[in-house]
């Protein structure tokens, strides 16, 4: 067992987002206010707005592996390979059994199941046309398992179903497994393939929560008075996490250090958020980090562009930071890329990590007319220079069934 006070650091980042396939591209898009949402056509529902990733799946997979695997598997494989390369780590006999893969997912299996049902519908629902890959595609460990098969990793792998709090949940799992000494390297984060099935869109539409705008890039507009709902996106972001002692031993580049985290449950409703529990989750993470609310410099909000969700997160933020001597900077990423579901937490935090080195904080996107109920001090409509003062970033990620996750990272200082 490792000592619980081991420090955990982020040493690699691999990602794919609708507006960038590397941290550098993604960061440039966020600083230059480049959003990327497009219209796609899905069976049954027709044209919808979606964030689509355009990474090269064949960079790390052959044609057969792409065909037989899942989209979330391909996203995970791309992100894991990029993250480990970024960390300067190669999977070898030295480390393959001590590497774990922990991937947060909002859901898994909808895409493949719907595809198969459509497939057999073309053959009068004769199940002899059902694909034999259906089971390996739809098992809940699929995305993480595809990574281990692709890279020859023999340590533990599994996925964490945590709705849209899943990205943070994946990272938290990786942190805990490192602290327990179960692994020496954790590839952890979240992915989503949800844009490839109509059901996610149709359900949001039935709920009155699916965004529409004549310009798709303006459809996702958290905190804006004229928001119309959520833009669903695919995406992925995996971090390489290590204990500081291991990272230092091999001279690794360190992006940031994990300061604290927390997860809790609303315990109240399937869909409607609960600002009291969200606030408690942030407070718990701040305590877990040994900090006070005044110490937090930046909050990346979860806000998705639904009226209730945006307003209630603002209410939670006021509960946590309203009494402190200074309110942190507040930004949001979904205006740029939509809601990347299981990937959202890790992806959005990744977009803010370069603030520790370039000292700029990216703004929110598509707030043309701020909802008065979302007025917060330091809500960023334009990028700001943070000087060298930015030390702590708090990342909110909340999901259906009332699951809340908060991750706090800090500028690394030895």
Q: Site residues (CB under 8 A) for another protein?
A: 62-65, 67-68, 123, 128-129, 131-133
Look at strands 38-42 and 46-51 and give their pairing. antiparallel
Q: 54 pairs with which residues across the strands? A: none
Q: Which residue lies nearer to another protein by CB, 62 or 325?
A: 62
The yes-or-no answer on residue 164 being catalytic is yes
Indicate which residue of 79, 159, 164, 364 is catalytic. 164
Residue 183 near residue 118, CB atoms below 8 Å: no
The yes-or-no answer on residue 132 being catalytic is no
CB of 62 to another protein, least distance (A): 4
Q: Which residue lies nearer to another protein by CB, 4 or 63?
A: 63
CB of 57 to another protein, least distance (A): 13
CB of 150 to another protein, least distance (A): 13
How far is 218 from 203, CA to CA, in rounded Å?
Answer: 21
Q: Where are the alpha helices (DSSP H) in 102-255?
A: 110-121, 134-138, 142-151, 166-179, 198-206, 244-249
Tokens for 298, please give them: 């930046």
Helices 110-121 and 198-206 sit at what angle, rounded to 10 degrees? Answer: 110
CB of 115 to another protein, least distance (A): 14
What are the distances in angstroms from CA 146 to CA 129, 149, 176, 290, 319?
A: 24, 5, 22, 37, 42
Q: Which residue lies nearer to another protein by CB, 4 or 128?
A: 128
The yes-or-no answer on residue 196 being catalytic is no
Indicate which residue of 49, 157, 339, 362 is catalytic. 339
123 burial (CB, 10 Å; 0-12 / 13-18 / 19+) is exposed
CB of 129 to another protein, least distance (A): 6
How far is 130 from 107, CA to CA, in rounded Å?
Answer: 21
- Residue 183: Cβ within 10 Å count: 24
Euclidean distance between the first and the last CA atom of the chain, given in angstroms as a whole number: 24
Q: Which residue lies nearer to another protein by CB, 119 or 265?
A: 119
Residues 6+ away with beta carbon under 8 Å from 71: 111, 193, 196, 234
CB of 238 to another protein, least distance (A): 24
Q: Which residue lies nearer to another protein by CB, 130 or 412?
A: 130
Q: Which residue lies nearer to another protein by CB, 62 or 206?
A: 62
> Would you state the torsion angle of the CA atoms of residues 150, 151, 152, 156, taken in this order, to the nearest 10 degrees?
-100
Return the active site residues: 164, 302, 339
């Amino acid at each position: 067992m490792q000592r619980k006070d081991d420090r955990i650091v982020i040493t690699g980042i691999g990602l794919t987002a609708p507006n960038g396939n590397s941290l550098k591209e993604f960061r440039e898009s966020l600083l230059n206010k480049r959003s990327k949402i497009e219209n796609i056509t899905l069976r049954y529902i027709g044209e919808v707005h979606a964030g689509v990733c355009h990474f090269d799946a064949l960079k790390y997979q052959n044609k057969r592996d792409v065909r037989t695997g899942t989209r979330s598997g391909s996203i995970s494989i791309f992100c894991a390979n990029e993250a480990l390369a970024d960390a300067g780590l190669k999977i070898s006999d030295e480390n393959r059994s001590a590497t774990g893969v922990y991937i947060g997912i909002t859901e898994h299996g909808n895409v493949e199941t719907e595809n198969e049902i459509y497939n057999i519908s073309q053959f009068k629902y004769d199940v002899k046309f059902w694909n034999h890959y259906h089971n390996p595609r739809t098992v809940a460990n699929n995305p993480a398992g595809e990574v281990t098969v692709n890279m020859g990793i023999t340590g533990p792998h599994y996925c964490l179903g945590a709705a849209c709090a899943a990205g943070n949940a994946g990272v938290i799992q990786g942190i805990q497994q490192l602290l327990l000494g179960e692994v020496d390297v954790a590839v952890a984060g979240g992915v989503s393939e949800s844009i490839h099935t109509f059901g996610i869109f149709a359900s949001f539409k039935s709920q009155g929560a699916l965004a529409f705008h004549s310009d798709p890039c303006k459809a996702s507009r958290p905190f804006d008075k004229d928001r119309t709902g959520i833009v669903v996106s695919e995406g992925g972001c995996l971090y390489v996490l290590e204990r500081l002692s291991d990272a230092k031993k091999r001279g690794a580049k360190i992006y940031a250090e994990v300061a604290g985290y927390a997860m809790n449950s609303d315990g109240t409703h399937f869909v409607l958020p609960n600002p009291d529990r969200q606030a408690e989750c942030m407070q718990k993470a701040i305590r877990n980090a040994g900090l006070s609310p005044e110490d937090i410099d930046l909050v990346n909000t979860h806000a998705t562009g639904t009226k209730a969700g945006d307003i209630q997160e603002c209410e939670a933020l006021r509960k946590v930071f309203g009494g402190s001597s200074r309110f942190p900077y507040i930004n949001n990423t979904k205006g740029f890329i939509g809601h990347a579901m299981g990937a959202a937490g890790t992806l959005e935090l990744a977009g803010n990590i370069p603030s520790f080195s370039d000292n700029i904080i990216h703004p929110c996107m598509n707030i043309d007319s701020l909802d008065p109920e979302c007025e917060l001090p330091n809500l960023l409509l334009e990028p700001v220079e943070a000087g060298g003062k930015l030390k702590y970033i708090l990342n909110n990620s909340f999901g259906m069934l009332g699951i809340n996750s908060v991750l706090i990272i800090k500028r690394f200082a030895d």
